[in-house]
Amino acid sequence: MKSLIEELSRFPDDALCHAYEGEIIGIVIRLGGREGVIHCSEREGVEPETVPLTSL
């Protein structure tokens, strides 16, 4: 949880987010036509990879 909270803090507080499982598994964050992703893994000890907000 600690690493997820740290990654979420990199995004604006007013952004929207939802869990996604498809081409990736993670949390998709959207704000004003931009999108970012926190990639997640079910394996213990794997740190999340974060893609900052970029234009859609």
43 — pLDDT class (breaks 50, 70, 90): confident
The whole-number pLDDT of residue 32 equals 94
The whole-number pLDDT of residue 51 equals 87
Q: How many angstroms separate the CA atoms of 34 and 53, rounded?
A: 5
| φ, ψ for residue 2, nearest 5 deg | -60, -45
Domain ranges of the chain: 2-55
The amino acid that residue 48 corresponds to is: P
Residue 46 in this model has a pLDDT that exceeds 80: no
The whole-number pLDDT of residue 1 equals 81
The single-letter DSSP state of residue 15 is: -
Residue-wise pLDDT tens digits, 2-42: 888 999 999 999 999 999 999 889 999 999 999 999 998 77
The whole-number pLDDT of residue 52 equals 87
